[in-house]
């Protein structure tokens, strides 16, 4: 499938995506374990992926899950699709802000969010968590991987805990500025 982008653009996206933000194999296995836990017994799982991480999209494709990818730019979703080895025929793309997109309440079994929180204004994070909770099925789950600094980790988890019960937390890689990349598995409160 051709998306009308040149090889240079694909190389640029590929190069950019190999930075610290790209999930490593160990982190992807954590996402996979959480997904397996959530979809067990669900006949047609619905997954919302915030951001356009091709690795998380490939994980959803393995389960043939109906997947909605939300990002601020359709072109970026297209470009990252070119990095995927496994395509999902049940994947739909939405451009825009989760806060205003017409996503049905209580419609997703799982929400994956990979490095999206750093793009949400600190003044809008509470609303963002509330919106995720609103569109998540009552028994659904949220898996978030985000940059967290050691000094602010407790406050970060406190804000998450207002909306979600943190069921599990696993640690991903560490950065060079005392930041780390925890992966949280959460249920709505």
Q: What is the Cα–Cα distance from 158 to 2, expressed in whole angstroms?
A: 44
Q: Which domain holds residue 157?
A: 7-188
Does residue 1 sit within a domain?
A: no
Does residue 29 sit within a domain?
A: yes
Does residue 2 sit within a domain?
A: no
In terms of C-beta density within 10 A (0-12 exposed, 13-18 middle, 19 or more buried), how is residue 44 classed? exposed
One pLDDT digit (tens) per residue for the chain, 189 residues: 333 333 333 344 443 444 557 888 888 999 999 999 999 889 899 999 999 899 999 999 988 899 999 999 999 999 999 999 988 889 999 999 888 899 999 999 999 998 888 888 889 999 999 999 999 999 999 999 988 888 888 999 999 999 999 999 998 777 666 677 889 999 999
**By C-alpha distance, which of 181, 187, 188 is closest to 26?**
181
Q: What is the Cα–Cα distance from 157 to 154, expressed in whole angstroms?
A: 5
Does residue 70 sit within a domain?
A: yes
Does residue 140 sit within a domain?
A: yes
Give the DSSP per-residue string, 128-179: HHHHHHHHEEEEEEEEEE--EEGGGHHHHHHHHHTTEEEEEEEEEEE-SSSE
Q: Taking the alpha carbons of 176, 173, 146, 168 in that order, is the dihedral positive or negative?
A: negative
pTM of the predicted structure, to 2 decimals: 0.85
Q: For the chain, how many structural domains are there in total?
A: 1
């Amino acid at each position: 499938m051709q998306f009308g982008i040149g090889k240079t653009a694909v190389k640029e996206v590929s190069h950019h995506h190999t930075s610290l933000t790209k999930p490593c194999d160990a982190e992807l296995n954590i996402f996979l374990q959480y997904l397996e836990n959530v979809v067990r017994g669900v006949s047609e799982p619905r997954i919302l992926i915030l951001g356009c991480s091709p690795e998380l999209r490939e994980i959803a494709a393995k389960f043939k899950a109906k997947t909605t990818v939300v990002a601020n730019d359709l072109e970026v979703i297209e470009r990252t699709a070119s990095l995927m080895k496994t395509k999902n025929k049940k994947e739909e793309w939405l451009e825009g802000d989760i806060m205003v997109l017409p996503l049905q309440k209580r419609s997703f079994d799982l929400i994956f969010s990979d490095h999206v929180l750093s793009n949400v204004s600190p003044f809008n994070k509470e609303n963002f968590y509330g919106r995720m909770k609103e569109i998540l099925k009552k028994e659904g789950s949220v898996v978030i991987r985000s940059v967290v600094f050691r000094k602010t980790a407790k406050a970060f988890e406190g804000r998450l805990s207002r909306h979600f019960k943190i069921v599990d937390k696993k640690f991903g890689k560490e950065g060079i500025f005392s930041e780390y990349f925890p992966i949280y598995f959460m249920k709505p409160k």
